[in-house]
Amino acid sequence: MSTRDVVGRYFETMRQRDWDAFAEVVADDVRYELPQTREVISGKAKYVAFNREYPGDWELTLTRLVVDGETAAGSMNFTVGDQELVGLVFLEVRDGLVSKVTDFWPEPYEPPAGREHLVDREPASVDRLSMP
Amino acid sequence: MSTRDVVGRYFETMRQRDWDAFAEVVADDVRYELPQTREVISGKAKYVAFNREYPGDWELTLTRLVVDGETAAGSMNFTVGDQELVGLVFLEVRDGLVSKVTDFWPEPYEPPAGREHLVDREPASVDRLSMP
């Protein structure tokens, strides 16, 4: 499978919570990094369990997918109840399997003062984050 | 110029704060979106001014660049004084110029409880964020 096929299947099986199929596109020694918390999950068994056990009745929509050689980047709208989050992910593929995942979950914040003369405030468009 | 050349030049001229050269790779009707604040900047003049006026003695290092057709994604380590941030950006290129930029600035947070059996905590590696 091409990198595009592998990462497409990664997101689609996650969206469907088909964890057996998800496990088939993940390398045995996959490394999952969350730089915001410095959490790392090592190995397929723990990484599939992490996803399977993730709490809440969430829904995921892939909003961007950028593929380049054996790397990819994507963005997701992630909804849990009435909360909307955006997830950003960088992936590495090796031998047709996802070998590294780096995830980011940015949160809404109030804009700093001093740039009001340059900016407009608009409703969310592609990327939907619930305001605090 | 290829998309890779255009976005490479975008990040390199930003890194060098060469705003005249930066302006040359940005479309007249560029749209810059910050979904976390719902701020939008429209047009080259305002967008270049926003970057030129951005406060602080910052330094930028591009850590990832993923290019796919006329789209790209990148990550940056951004240092201001003793604070370290990670910036994530999705770009669209049209007619050899950057026409849309979507920026995210995730912040560190404490991991939620309940997944300690699956995760390790490690020092920052590629992506460097100052802990609160």
- Condensed to tens digits (0 to 9), the pLDDT of residues A1-58 reads 999 999 999 999 999 999 999 999 999 999 999 999 999 999 999 999 999 999 889 9
Domains of chain A: which residue ranges?
Answer: 3-104
Comparing C-alpha atoms, which of A108, A35, A89 is closest to residue B86? A35
Confidence (pLDDT) at B132? 60
Confidence (pLDDT) at A132? 59
Confidence (pLDDT) at A124? 79
For chain B, state the CA radius of gyration.
16
Is A126 an interface residue toward B (CB < 8 Å)? Answer: yes
CA distance A53 to chain B (A): 9
Q: Is B56 in a helix, a strand, or coil? A: coil
pTM score of the predicted model? 0.96
B104 to chain A: which residues are within 8 Å by CB?
86, 88, 104, 106
Chain B residues 33-52 with CB within 8 Å of chain A: 33-42, 46-47, 49-50
Tokens read off for B92: 């669209």
Q: Does ipTM exceed 0.90?
A: yes
| Average pLDDT of chain A to the nearest whole number | 95
- Which of the two residues, A130 and B93, has the higher pLDDT score? B93
Q: What is the spatial distance between Cα B59 and Cα B48, in angstroms, rounded to a whole number?
A: 17
pLDDT above 90: residue B131: no
| Residues A122, A126, A128: CA angle, nearest 5 degrees | 75
Q: Give yes or no for a contact between B93 and B30, defined as CB atoms under 8 angstroms apart.
A: no
At residue B109, what are phi and psi to the nearest 5 degrees? -150, 165
State the CB neighbour count (10 A cutoff) for residue A98. 23
pLDDT above 90: residue B15: yes
pLDDT above 80: residue B40: yes
Closest CA in chain B for residue A102:
B127
The model's confidence at residue A123, banded by pLDDT at 50, 70 and 90, is confident
Comparing C-alpha atoms, which of B26, B79, B74, B72 is closest to residue B50? B26
pLDDT above 90: residue A120: yes
| pLDDT tens digits for range B111-125 | 989 999 999 998 878
A40 to chain B: which residues are within 8 Å by CB?
119-122
| Average pLDDT of chain B to the nearest whole number | 95
A50 to chain B: which residues are within 8 Å by CB?
115, 118-119
Q: What is the spatial distance between Cα B60 and Cα B68, in angstroms, rounded to a whole number?
A: 23
* Fold of the domain spanning A3-104: Nuclear Transport Factor 2; Chain: A, (3.10.450)
Confidence (pLDDT) at A29? 98
CA distance B49 to chain A (A): 8
